[in-house]
Structure 1
């Protein structure tokens, strides 16, 4: 793994001062093959995330980004290696880590409010009815869905459905938010608006985030660091790119800076020059 040597005068040092939160050590993931061998997806992954850090996983399809995210979530187990969250080994899913998927996963027979409330009832069962109602109401407002609270999923747009998924995840008060290409199924205009909204929420309600993306501009706009993966099989972390722009961020402002295009070109050159784009 290579850490980018790009340096900028306005580098934000806040993240570096925080303590280790999530630690991934020498992680390997392999699947058995019909001939008795194994197909190694990820090989020797070492990565540490700080508390409240926003990290993007960037790479071509098939490089194991989503597999790594699922192992952090506890949905899959590593073949070898260790993942720890605040010093405790990750062995299974838990309410301290919530995932937002590309496809929304809403129950069509429940309203927007009811989809969020169902998750709150399941995880935060120790709270009173009034407290649960308040949490749901607050998170509907957080993603600007108060007016759509009593609509059903087939009555709202794709962008609104994704906001329901994000509100549902955040309402459970996780320590870590895991997002697997959360904007990938949206049109360009909706995607840009939702990126801004999610970033605004994170800037005002900090928590550790790991997000899978194929989009260099998305990674630069939203994250503190970009973890760039080599192609699979035997995918590794090829380079980690530090993103120097302070929060809160203004998309137009950072795009007008020379640092933005230097970082963007560096990431694109990494993906294009060193590794095949074949899936």
Structure 2
């Protein structure tokens, strides 16, 4: 049976205080319109994420998933409400939260190694050169890019570029990883391989992850919980699904279970319901 938590505009979601890491409390995000009005993107969002939890945000385009992620990253400010990490309000970007975007954001004049080293130099400036090199080498190996370390971005594939971005984000040892459609620009085969690789890394180096995706199968395979958003404007958390599969995960084994199909159908029915309403 699918375990879910239902939400409405007057319902908040919380977990026991000792597990709270990221806390989003009564968050609303709106923009002023040219006619002097207000366009509400997100309304009364309440969510907590544990320090070792993988959470996915899913919903139709325009429901504010990426906006919520940017607020957690400190790239945008909420109109009202509060977002805290370990009890401290998030007001701006910080090295405790690293973002991986759908598009690779690599500096084309730097090699793979140099793109990762740049982030390490910026954030971990107190370390010795040998320690910084050790960290870069460790993360190159973690994403299987040691052999490509001296290549430039235009000499490697899209999947490899995304692995550089992930290695760069992880190398500075953030407390939370934020991913906005990180596999969306990849072909199906590369996407599946990279999903597994990222999940393997996470299972061996647990940290909080908040990932935006449109892919139900991806969310089920990778996540501990799936946060399903209602349509915008004024989007809310409609439902949160608990994913029951233990880690480490085997994709084939999961897909052969009745729980997988029940969870998948539940998520798709939720999305179909809002798609019909949107149409």
| TM-score, normalising length: structure 1 | 0.94
2:149 — aligned with what? 149
Divergent runs of 4+, >3 A: 15-18, 274-279
Correspondence 1:213 to 2:179: no
Q: Are the equivalent residues in 2 in contact too, given 1:230–1:275 (CA < 8 A)?
A: no
1:10 — aligned with what? none
Work out the CA distance in 1 between the residues paired with 2:229 and 2:75.
21
State the secondary structure of the residue aligned to 2:36.
coil
Q: Are the equivalent residues in 2 in contact too, given 1:220–1:226 (CA < 8 A)?
A: yes
Work out the CA distance in 2 between the residues paired with 1:142 and 1:18.
31
CA-to-partner distance for each residue in 1:239-274, whole Å, 9 max, x for gaps? 000000000000000000000000000000001024
Work out the CA distance in 2 between the residues paired with 1:38 and 1:115.
40
Unaligned runs of 5+ in 1: 7-14
CA-to-partner distance for each residue in 1:172-207, whole Å, 9 max, x for gaps? 100000000000000000000000000000000000
Counting only pairs closer than 5 Å after superposition, residues 104-143 of structure 1 correspond to structure 2 as: 104-143=104-143
State the secondary structure of the residue aligned to 1:4.
strand
Work out the CA distance in 1 between the residues paired with 2:16 and 2:251.
23
1:256 — aligned with what? 256
Q: Are the equivalent residues in 1 in contact too, given 2:5–2:239 (CA < 8 A)?
A: no
CA-to-partner distance for each residue in 1:194-231, whole Å, 9 max, x for gaps? 00000000000000000000000000000000000000
State the secondary structure of the residue aligned to 2:238.
strand
Work out the CA distance in 1 between the residues paired with 2:242 and 2:232.
23
1:9 — aligned with what? none
Q: Are the equivalent residues in 1 in contact too, given 2:227–2:240 (CA < 8 A)?
A: yes
Work out the CA distance in 2 between the residues paired with 1:17 and 1:224.
18
1:176 — aligned with what? 176
TM-superposed CA distance for 1:278, in Å, is 5.3
Q: Are the equivalent residues in 1 in contact too, given 2:42–2:64 (CA < 8 A)?
A: yes
TM-superposed CA distance for 1:18, in Å, is 6.2
TM-superposed CA distance for 1:138, in Å, is 0.2
Unaligned runs of 5+ in 2: 7-14
TM-superposed CA distance for 1:19, in Å, is 1.3
TM-superposed CA distance for 1:100, in Å, is 0.2
2:54 — aligned with what? 54
2:83 — aligned with what? 83
Work out the CA distance in 1 between the residues paired with 2:31 and 2:185.
28
* Number of residue equivalences: 269
2:191 — aligned with what? 191
Counting only pairs closer than 5 Å after superposition, residues 91-110 of structure 1 correspond to structure 2 as: 91-110=91-110
Work out the CA distance in 2 between the residues paired with 1:276 and 1:113.
47
Q: Are the equivalent residues in 2 in contact too, given 1:18–1:50 (CA < 8 A)?
A: no
| TM-score, normalising length: structure 2 | 0.94
Work out the CA distance in 2 between the residues paired with 1:92 and 1:5.
30
1:11 — aligned with what? none
State the secondary structure of the residue aligned to 2:21.
strand
1:201 — aligned with what? 201
Correspondence 1:26 to 2:26: yes
